[in-house]
Amino acid sequence: MNTEKMRKALTNYLRWPLILGLLLIIMNIHMYTLDTQIAMIITIYVGVYLIFALLLFMIKRRAVLKDLVSYAMRFHLATKQIATDFELPMCIMDSNLISIWDNNAFRKTFASDLGKRFNVSEAIPEIDERSMPKNEDEIGEMHFEVNTAFYHAILKRLDLDQALNSDKKVEKELARRASHIGISGQLFVLYIYNETDLVRVIQENYDQRLDVGLLYIDNYEESLDTVDDVRRALLVALADRKINKYMLGYDAIIRKLEKDKYIFMIQHKYLAQMQADKFSILEDIKTINAGSAEETGITISMGIGSQADTYRKRQEYARSAIDLALGRGGDQVVIKTRDNTLYYGGKSIEQEKNTRVKARVKAHALRDSIEVADRLIIMGHKMPDVDAIGSALGIYRIATDLGKPARIVVNSVTSALEPLLELFKGNKDYPDDLFLTASQASDYVGNGIGVLLVVVDVNKPSFTDAPELIDKVSSLVVIDHHRQTGEAFVNPTLSYVEPFASSACEMVAEIIQYSGDEVHLRTLEADALYSGIMVDTNNFMNKPGVRTFEAVAFLRRCGAEMIRIRKMFRTDIEEYKVQAEAVQNMSLFMDSYAFATCHADAFPDPTIIGSKIANTFLDIQGVKASFVFTEYNEKIFISARSIDELNVQLVMEKLGGGGHINMAGAQLADCSIEEAKERVKAVLTEMRKEGEII
């Protein structure tokens, strides 16, 4: 409100006594019609009132106006001074982000070395045209940091053209004054709050939250089984000391649950330090058995639960993480959070367990599951190989001999699998519909009541041959030898995942031996199981263990014949030419890693040929690992193989794949073979930079 308007308002206010005097005069006139004597007395009082009212209006009006205007001006100056000296940084800018007005706090904090009219983005780079509110109803907010201090900025927009016609006097006056100095369009008002203390309190609270962890010694019995009592006590004490010393360095609370199991709690801020250190305890613990070449080095696994709302939930995350670490072969750390699962370590070759206790327990549990089911459906992974079908046939035999009907899902038959399946066509010992497609299997399952689904040679639901069956069945059993990843089956009735096993066929061969005397493996099934072991171990060159040969011996006693199997899986001449071409065009990366392209477009299963080529490269001296790239179904399939110098599973996991430490793969979409090669090379380069490979 300007001074002239204030004068007019005050004048009108002071005129009210005179206006009310007119009312008294009218009343006095009316009294003369009633009582003349009383009316005359009232006339005297009314006259005195009007004289005093007139004197007040004429004498005091100027003084009152002067005092009120003086007060208003002082108030205006005071509020302006308060805004200028206000501790909250404030700034008004035009549509080009040029500052029109800013207070002392803003200039001192953000623009001390800038001129009078400056671009606000020069003072605060986070503020640009994209951060401006698009309309008056929108409020822009942002958080930024300057010199270790944290700020919260609020932006409001004022359209000047609309404000001139607005009913809001403050906005209208601001718009009018802006037009006087040649500003039109929009103004933006910026308020900034210092939230450093709040951010630090939140960060401290976050850092001090306790994460729950479980630490297991992977191979306690195997490592100490052949050690004398004195040395056993020394090694146990040394392992315990190393574990406790490591945890003490991170201010952790750790307690021993069993001889080979620990539980610990750490502040969340120390977890990042452990991650940066890549959990050095994994390598440090392996040094305690350096005294004898025959001794198996001790390894540990850790599962840590983090970023859950309750301690109970974090403990559940830790339990899930340690199960995942052990399921991947141990010697690693798995961190499970609400949204992610992280892996560290896992460079050692899985240690084979000498005891078959677990196999016996799992076999009895599988038998119980089969006996309560009405019928079974068995399936492996997409494009099943001999290991998947061989192990499925072993489960089929257990179910059949226990009196339960069973069928096997085979959606696509590759050339490598066709010779095996041909043996069952027209065989009177097997039903004609032994092998079903996904749609046929869905009809077989029906409503799923009383149906047991047994998944073999895969532990990822999305990789199964018919994922839609998983939610239809009453119960689920998983038997696999691949390392587990973040994706897993939800609440299976039985899960038997052993990464140290050479193949799923080896695991099923062991299960058959503990399934009961009424289970008798037939010759064709023994051949299939033997074939699966032979293919997955690359003719017993890749990760065979003592239990592998024990399983093979059992299959031989059941009638498996090596000559018959070898004839079944001989290589086609055209396929052999494709392999030879890939070998001829192979190139080396970092002088150690073989890269080749498999041109097998004319074959129905080019990816299998690619895996064979990858195995071939390992026979070349100096090759630490091989990567073969095959284009199939508009995707690039990568077959990765190694002996013991590179964990190819870690490489493939970085590309969204997985597998074993020395046999893994991945599928890449929307890229060419050359682009896929560059992505693998980038991963290897990064791993070398991080010290994960030499």
Packing angle of the helix pair 386-401, 523-536 (nearest 10 deg) = 150
Can you give 185-209 as a three-state secondary structure string? CEEEEEEEEECHHHHHHHHHHHHCC
Closest CA to 535 of 565, 501, 573, 579: 565
- Sequence-ordered list of residues with C-beta below 8 angstroms from that of 5, at least 6 positions apart, any chain: none
- How many whole angstroms separate alpha carbon 543 and alpha carbon 506? 12
- Half-sphere exposure in the Cβ direction for 423 (13 Å, CA): 17
Report yes or no: 465 and 408 within 8 Å, Cβ to Cβ. Answer: no
Query: Helix, strand, coil % (nearest 5) of the chain?
Result: 45, 20, 35
Can you give 136-165 as a three-state secondary structure string? CCCCEEEEEEECCEEEEEEEEEEEHHHHCC
pLDDT of 128:
80
Show the tokens assigned to 51. 């004289």
- How many whole angstroms separate alpha carbon 615 and alpha carbon 581? 15
> What DSSP character marks residue 570?
P
- Sequence-ordered list of residues with C-beta below 8 angstroms from that of 466, at least 6 positions apart, any chain: 379, 409, 411, 438, 441, 442
**Is 611 in a helix, a strand, or coil?**
helix
pLDDT of 305:
93
Distance of CA 267 to the CA centre of its chain: 21
Other Cβ atoms within 10 Å of 429 Cβ, number: 10
pLDDT of 148:
82
* CA distances from residue 353 to 116, 150, 299, 498, 638 in whole angstroms, order as listed: 77, 54, 13, 10, 30
- How many whole angstroms separate alpha carbon 690 and alpha carbon 683? 10
Report yes or no: 99 and 92 within 8 Å, Cβ to Cβ. Answer: yes
What does 318-363 look like in DSSP terms, one character per residue? Answer: HHHHHHHHHHTTSSEEEEE-SS-EEEEE--SPPPPPS--HHHHHHH
- How many whole angstroms separate alpha carbon 372 and alpha carbon 370? 6
- How many whole angstroms separate alpha carbon 155 and alpha carbon 127? 10
Closest CA to 296 of 216, 217, 219, 240: 219
| Sign, Cα dihedral of 124, 125, 131, 135 | positive
Show the tokens assigned to 119. 């671009």
597 DSSP β-pair partners: 629
Strand order in the sheet with 210-217: 253-258, 261-267, 210-217, 300-305, 332-336, 341-345
152 DSSP β-pair partners: 143, 193
**Is 432 in a helix, a strand, or coil?**
coil
Distance of CA 474 to the CA centre of its chain: 30
- How many whole angstroms separate alpha carbon 688 and alpha carbon 694? 6
**Is 106 in a helix, a strand, or coil?**
helix
Other Cβ atoms within 10 Å of 34 Cβ, number: 8
**Is 274 in a helix, a strand, or coil?**
helix
**Is 623 in a helix, a strand, or coil?**
coil
**Is 71 in a helix, a strand, or coil?**
helix
- How many whole angstroms separate alpha carbon 62 and alpha carbon 50? 19
> What DSSP character marks residue 185?
S
Beta strands 475-480 and 494-497 are parallel
Other Cβ atoms within 10 Å of 292 Cβ, number: 10
129 DSSP β-pair partners: none
Report yes or no: 190 and 155 within 8 Å, Cβ to Cβ. Answer: yes
Phi, psi of 196 (to 5 degrees): -60, -50
Closest CA to 510 of 361, 328, 388: 361
Show the tokens assigned to 229. 């009592």
> What DSSP character marks residue 467?
G
Place of tokens 């299963």: 605
Beta strands 593-598 and 587-589 are antiparallel
Place of tokens 């209208």: 172
- How many whole angstroms separate alpha carbon 646 and alpha carbon 293? 22
pLDDT of 292:
47
pLDDT of 232:
80
Other Cβ atoms within 10 Å of 251 Cβ, number: 10
pLDDT along the chain (694 residues), means of 10: 58 68 79 80 82 71 60 62 77 82 84 82 83 78 86 83 55 55 68 88 84 89 72 86 93 91 92 89 80 62 90 90 81 87 72 67 92 94 90 95 94 83 89 92 91 93 91 93 78 86 92 92 93 86 82 92 82 85 92 92 82 89 93 90 86 84 87 93 90 73
Report yes or no: 533 and 384 within 8 Å, Cβ to Cβ. Answer: no
Tell me the helices (H) and strands (E) count for the chain, helix number first.
25, 23
